[in-house]
Amino acid sequence: MHHGTSELTGSSTADGLALAIRLTLLLCTVVVAGAGLLRPLGGDPPGRVRATLGAVGAASAVLALVSVAALDVNVVGGAVHAVLSVAVVVTLTRPRVTVGPSGALLVLLVVETGAGRSGLDLMLDLVVVTAAATWFGVVVAMASGTWLGRTVRPGGLMTSLGVVLAVAGALALVWSGLGPDRRLLTTGIGVVSLAAVVLPVAATVLVVAARRWSGPRGATGLAAAGVAVAFVAWTAAPALGRPAELPVPGVPVLASATVGGADVPVLISPHRPGTNLVHLPASAGDDVTVGVDGDGFVPAGGRRGAPGRWAEVQLPEGRSEIVVRAGGDEAGIDVDTGSGAGSGPPGATGADGPECATAALGGLVGGARDVLRRCPAEALSDRDERSLRSLVGHLAQREVPAVALAADDSPRSRLAARVVRQEAQRHGLPVRTGPVRDAALIVVSGWTDAHTTVQRTAQDQTRGPTYLYGVHLAPWLLTSPVVNSLATTSLALDMDPRGPNAVEFVVALGGRFGGQRPTLDGYRRWLAAQGRSDAEQNRIYASAQVTAMPMGAGEPHAPGMSGIGDGAGNWIEGAAVVPVTGPLRP
């Protein structure tokens, strides 16, 4: 099975050859820099050691120049790196002279290794590069057979350096977000992070054991090899990125599958044993199918009133794999529904499942990883109740002759219908059923039935006057598929879809989930995850399908008007949602 990502980097965009060049360059450089820096502590190295260092130094110089073209490295930096590498090798026979270019090369190496990093990451880079260079310098100095250091012994120095490297690796492992779980052995970042801790420990043990029984020189070669591999692992880690979070039973999974040459975001909800919804953005295309453990593939298609594409799958207890297939390619996403955990909330699947899933999506985009315990359609929130009461009061103030009500059997819809009837009775408004000419239609059903109702109303209006006082939607129906089913609709909202928080959410959701448009409960959970609130007094907002304004080329918008249509910050695709009243009375 092709998972669409490089096993080494975990990223489909990583260039394996470029990474190999970089890792080899850094390893050769740290060896050369360390050998020159500690050259005064050893005698004249034998011919084979000089030849080896010459080859390593030449490789460092050549790879530095190759990196200018292959890795888009700064030309001056690459040239300086190459010159310093050659200078260290040329001056090895003059110990006091070679320290200068070696120190400069080490500084350059720290800069190259820590490029783009800061804080603790940069500090650990400095420690690891310096400790590794010193270790290799000790090895080269010992190869001469003469140790000239008077205040420190090579075995003790190597032991201390091994401890430093192991501690730095352990701190980086904790900082990476990895825990003591299977990711240490099943992901690239886990393997290299573990190697950066275990190999220095093993090298230190070898040196300590050799000091006790045969002196440090007997274990020098093997320990040096371990430190070399640990250094390569350390420098490879930044290219692998942070590890993906382990799936937690009951917490919807937001992941990415690389299929057909593109990264496709995938949402799996409620992530419990039994029926689950797999959600992909509309941008994923029409040929996507979804299966479990490589079997039982079903097409991901549209659902009435819901954005994007959806597939319904049956997940077993425990760990399994959701497989997404498109364009002749497929990718797997690990899931873990737990054992004996039961199914998800009642509204997590069925007609109201997409709304529940997209609500969870909003929280995930905001950084929350909460167990999905309740779905929006299971209860009428206080905010939505106030909005509905404000809507009915507004219609009564406009002296609407009557209201018609469209509801379904979900708990929220039944409660909302009761609120509308109570408020209509309080204002003396009759409640009608069926298509009515002189009435306002209030839709309080879920997405599926609302989509059908609004589409049917649009058809009725083509045959004759119907609902002359408008079609008014419950707040949770502020979604592109429902709103765009009719040319013009209105809603009572206690938030501004054009406000800074709302626009930030629209952009964040679209960027994380393939350009998908937002939903109200997804927005509210995103706000909660961000520790924010934007509740205000209810206003009536009207949505109209307008994608162009009659303006000349380059002509600015009139004062107070903003661009509308398909912009990244628009709540409704291809439509403008604007307030048409001031604050309504509670």
> Is 581's pLDDT higher than 80?
yes
Phi, psi angle pair for 96, to nearest 5°: -70, -30
User: Domain for residue 178, yes or no?
Assistant: yes
Q: Are 207 and 281 members of one domain?
A: no
Same domain, 203 and 231: yes
Domain of residue 566, CATH code: 3.40.50
Structure tokens at 430: 């009759």
Range with the largest mean pLDDT of 101-110, 182-191, 260-269, 415-424:
415-424
Mean pLDDT of 517-525: 96
| Structure token digits, residue 301 | 């298609």
- Tell which of 214, 240, 266 closes a domain: 240
Q: How many domains does the chain have?
A: 3
pLDDT (tens digit, 9 = 90+) per residue, 79-90? 999 999 999 989
In a domain, 320, yes or no: yes
20-29, 48-57, 148-157, 310-319: the lowest-pLDDT one: 148-157
pLDDT band (50, 70, 90) for residue 9: very low
584: nearest Cα among 537, 524, 552? 537
Higher pLDDT, 174 or 492: 492
Q: Which of 240, 265, 289 is the last residue of a domain?
A: 240
399: containing domain? 382-499+534-550+559-579
Average pLDDT over residues 178-187: 81
Segment among 126-140, 376-390, 534-548 with least mean pLDDT: 534-548
pLDDT of residue 272: 94
Q: Determine the Cα–Cα distance for residues 313 and 176; give it in Å rounded to an integer.
A: 33
Residue 396, pLDDT > 50, answer yes
Q: Are residues 188 and 71 in the same domain?
A: yes
Average pLDDT over residues 3-23: 57
Same-domain check for residues 423 and 481: yes
- Note the pLDDT of residue 525: 97
- 396 and 364 within one domain: no
Residue 551 has what pLDDT?
A: 38
Least reliable range by pLDDT among 67-76, 381-390, 480-489, 554-563: 554-563
Percent of the chain exceeding pLDDT 70 equals 92
DSSP states of 35-77 as a string?
HHHTGGGB-PPPHHHHHHHHHHHHHHHHHHHHHHHHS---HHH
Looking at 176-244, list the stretches that DSSP marks H as alpha helix, in order from N- to C-terminal side.
Answer: 183-186, 188-213, 220-240
Among 344, 374, 404, which residue terminates a domain? 374
Give 507-516 pLDDT, tens digit per residue: 999 999 999 9
Is residue 510 in a domain? no
Burial 520-533 (b: 16+ CB within 10 A, else e): bbbbbbbbebbeee
- Separation CA 478–CA 158 (nearest Å): 66
Whether the pLDDT of residue 237 is over 60: the answer is: yes
Long-range CB contacts for residues 293-297, cutoff 8 Å, separation at least 24: 293/320, 293/321, 293/323, 294/1, 294/321, 294/323, 297/323, 297/325
Beta bridge partners of 265: 256
Say if 526 falls within a structural domain. no
Both 367 and 394 in a single domain?
A: no
Residue 68: is its pLDDT beyond 90? no
Q: How sure is the predictor about 566, in pLDDT bands with cuts at 50, 70 and 90?
A: low
- Tell me if 96 is assigned to some domain: yes
**Of 238-252, 387-401, 413-427, 486-500, the least confident:** 238-252
Count the Cβ atoms, other than its own, within 10 Å of residue 482. 30
Q: Residue 84 is which amino acid?
A: L
In one letter, which amino acid is 524?
Answer: R
Please provide the DSSP assignment of 570-584 as one string: -SSTTBEEEE-S-PP
Please tell me whether residues 311 and 414 are part of one structural domain: no
Quick check: 572 and 483 in contact, CB under 8 A?
yes
Write down the pLDDT at residue 1. Answer: 36
- Tell whether 142 and 270 lie within a shared domain: no
Q: What is residue 387's predicted lDDT score, i.e. its pLDDT?
A: 97
Phi, psi (degrees; rounded to nearest 5) at 443:
-105, 120
pLDDT: which is higher, 157 or 355: 355
- In this prediction, residues 571-577 reach a mean pLDDT of 91
Summarize the confidence of residues 380-409 as an average pLDDT: 96
Same domain (yes/no): 337, 400: no
Which residue did the predictor score with more confidence, 68 or 584?
A: 584
Mean pLDDT of 69-96: 87
When comparing pLDDT for 260 and 529, which is higher? 529
SS3 content of the chain, % helix, strand, coil (to 5): 50, 15, 35
Q: pLDDT over 90 for what percent of the chain?
A: 62
With beta carbons less than 8 A apart as the criterion, state whether 460 and 428 touch.
Answer: no
Tokens of 411: 């708990």
pLDDT band per the 50, 70, 90 thresholds, residue 366:
very high
**CA distances to 32, 503, 511 from 526, in Å:** 52, 12, 14
pLDDT, tens digit, for every residue of 25-51? 999 999 999 988 888 888 887 888 889
Q: Name residues whose C-beta falls within 8 Å of residue 576's C-beta, 6 or more positions apart in sequence.
A: 543, 544, 546, 564, 565, 570
Residue 433: pLDDT band (50, 70, 90) is confident
Q: Does residue 246 fall inside a structural domain?
A: no
Q: Do the beta carbons of residue 382 and residue 524 sit within 8 Å?
A: no
Averaged pLDDT, 466-474: 96
- Contact (Cβ atoms closer than 8 angstroms) between residue 308 and residue 264: no
Q: What is the amino acid identity at position 207?
A: V
Residue 332 counted as domain residue? yes
CATH number, domain with residue 303? 2.60.40
Residue in the block written with tokens 């448009």:
517
pLDDT of residue 176: 77
CA torsion angle 580 570 254 481 (round to 10):
70
How far are the Cα atoms of 94, 274, 305, 556 from residue 351, in angstroms, in the given order? 80, 16, 10, 44
176 and 50 in a common domain: yes
> Is residue 549 pLDDT above 50, yes or no?
no
pLDDT score at 117:
73
- Greatest mean pLDDT range, 118-132, 421-435, 554-568: 421-435
The pLDDT value recorded for residue 568 is: 64
Q: Is 518 domain-assigned?
A: no
Residue 357 sits in the same domain as residue 395: no
Mean pLDDT over each residue of the chain, to the nearest integer: 87
Average pLDDT over residues 324-352: 88
pTM, 2 dp: 0.76
Residue 182: predicted pLDDT: 82
Instruction: Give residue 219's pLDDT.
Output: 66
**Same domain flag for 391 and 473:** yes
Angle between helices 188-213 and 154-175 (to 10 degrees): 160
- DSSP for residue 335: E
Distance CA 280, CA 258 (A): 13
